Structure 1
Amino acid sequence: MAADPAADDTERSFGEERPSHAGRPALTVLLLASTLGVMGGATIAPIIEVIRQALDVSSTAVGLVLTSHSLAIAVASPLAGRVTDRLGPRTPLATGLVVYGLAGGVGMVVDSYPALFVSRLCLGVGAAAVFTCSTAALLGMYRGASRDKVMGWRTSATTAGGFVYPLAAGALGNYSWHAPFAIYLVGLPLGIATLFAVPRTAPSSTDEASNGAKTGTPRAGALRLLRERPLILALCGLWVASAGLLMVIAVSLPRRLDQLGIHDTFVVALYGTVLSSGAAGIIGLTYAQLTARVGHPALMRCAAASWTAALLVFAVADHWAALILVPVLTGTGSGLAMPTLTVLVDNAAPAEQRGTAASLQATALFGGQFASPLVFGPLIESTSIALGALIAAAGTTCILLALFRLPDPARAERTAENQPLPVRSRQPATEE
């Protein structure tokens, strides 16, 4: 039975442009919410050394301030994904944005380490909903080449937040270490805007389920999804490993700059997040073209190679000029990896569990970030920053080698399309 060209054209058109009810307002709000993705830790990264000195705590303790919200994200994300699969992304996203703004803003008035730590945990609960719901909403609104384009835009939006917010925090940090926490209040107006702009439920995934691209049991749990889809488990493991290894740079770079005589928090912000975000943002704008040219697995290998180079430079550089390469290489790798991993996980998951799949990514990403200071903090304290970076570089090298076994979903789809139809489907029924 030959395929109907008109039907194919309709399906391709639906894959490129989603229903008009999604609209530009929803896309705008979701991209703005995505700017908060790296804001949780990046906003206070430039002032982390100032906080350590003001509160008189160890490097490991202040590293936990930088990543404590990641623990809450890792724990709360599966619940956020479950709620998103049931209710759609709008309500949990709006709620998460409000919690994010309020909990983040508490840092303006706290003066003790325990209170700051608790506020960061509450921030993480809101961030779990923001990350999971915005991801699920965008993946549900677009398919095909349009999805790659929007995922690239999302990466650029995320890294734009990583450019603007830390730069502002670095400038404010010269006046008071409390002042940068006011930046988190941006979550409050975004939460209100979400209620008006984002559709009540995610766009229907009927088209995906009907063509056999994705099948699964609705509302099955996260653990069952990982058991049934081993590729998702492997990809989440990649999120954990890469996030944990790269946090060595995020936590140690301000201290390394301080050792080299750079104390201005604005300059620390320029090094730590702005250069990285700028590189990732440029990659995001060209991501759709890169994907079409070389494919997802090749982009992931390029990302791992960039991370390895960044860690090696970080380990051996003894001058501030050489350290400029570190955030540029890190940002390039992250700009390639963030949208690629997001798309690969979603391709491997059933459409009706899109929220759960997105939440697993959040759990893996932020779980790795939280664990990193616990693993590398004592190591660096007892040895040196250089040794910690070299060990992390060995880890990213292992990731690079493992990525040569990553399957290409585009090639698998082309292979499936070229397979002949079963004999029984090409002959008329005879038993009626």
Structure 2
Amino acid sequence: MSVNINHHVPEVQAYRASVLHFTADPAFHENAYSWHEDGLLIVKDGHIVAAGDYQHLKDKLPHDVMPLDYRGKIIMPGFIDTHVHYPQTDMIASPSPGLLPWLEKYTFPTERKFEDRAHAAQVADFFLDQLLSCGTTSAMVYCTVHQESVHAFFHESTKRNLRMAAGKVLMDRNCPEFLRDTAEGGVRESEELIERWHNKGRQMYAITPRFAPTSTDAQLQLAGELAQKYPDVYLQTHVAENTDEVAWVKSLFPEARSYLDVYDKYGMLRPRSMYGHCIYLDDSDRKRMAETKSAVSVCPTSNMFLGSGLFNFSRADELHVPLSLATDVGGGTSFSMLQTMNAAYKMARLGSTYLPALRMFYMATLGGARSMQLEGTIGNFVKGAEADFIILDPQATPLLERRTGHSESLEELLFALAMLGDDRSINATYAAGVKVYQR
């Protein structure tokens, strides 16, 4: 259930439970996380004061502050979903033989409705409630080609005081006339939206070319120039998701060395750029992403649902490409980052890679924050970070309770949550220290 959001909360709040957060990537560092079985999280004015052992921190509390008791549960940072399409909420789980026919039959007709501000607001309201019920407190969100879809989204996000990045889709070719903008018009509207929304409260803007095939050279050129003009604004798009799409890009941009190279040519590889999928990259692409601090958003439920392919975790890690996890609804089949971890683990195994649970929880929290250049703001419990956190319940279902009751390590406990958990495992969600969801 959603809760009535009360922004007037006590100055200092405290929460007692097991406390987990990450300080580094477990793939590369032995001491990558902080775990306190009997822990305490202290929050003041929507920011983290301290997170650690209850016995060590309890004396730091004002005498009139009683910790909210969540013992038996786990407090951790809210999940960060780095690639999701809010307008596709109503077409999740739509049958199709592949990506391109799925776009034609379901995606484009669904997105047409978002020229209506009231419709966009109603979907945004439902979408954000779904995210919060799944423990997701931040996301990188695709809107539609319509400015109204962006205004509606940010209004709903502002009501809940969430840290969200979103943007108007840019498409000026190879799409239905009713969803087509122009090179100049689309980029001008994007700049108007940047001025209106970027860094207003906790809202952040993302320049959003849908993918190379639906933008002309002129639009990609202007979008790249906009990205250079506003370096603290995000850029998000799709790359190398599907073999048919890769072949299509090759035919449209024959001079490009690779699909990723199309974006590179227009100055779109940079910090705060997020590339969805990245299945069919080569090592030259991966090196280029690493050196430009461009990040990969891995979308496992979507990749399996659309039969797109398997993401290569081992090559990405060898070349130190920043990685995060994403649901990619509506190609993805769940808003739950726990369900997304379940799919990521299986996708990695099919590609002969083993993903520990600690790594997956890192990718869904601090990994997302680092990919978005937001470490220290969200993603873990360092002092001064924004207090976006969730209460995870390892006993949310009879099966989970039975399995976690036999866990002999933190890795086993988290692995059970990743394999068996879903929205039922989220007991409560807090944004900037305010409870915004209670199961």
Q: Greater helix percent: which structure?
A: 1
TM-score over 0.5 for the alignment?
Answer: no
Shorter-chain TM-score range = under 0.3
Normalised to the residue count of structure 1, the TM-score between the two structures is: 0.21
Query: Which structure is higher in RCO with an 8 Å CA cutoff and minimum separation 6?
Result: 1
The structure where strand makes up a greater share of residues is 2
Max Rg structure? 1
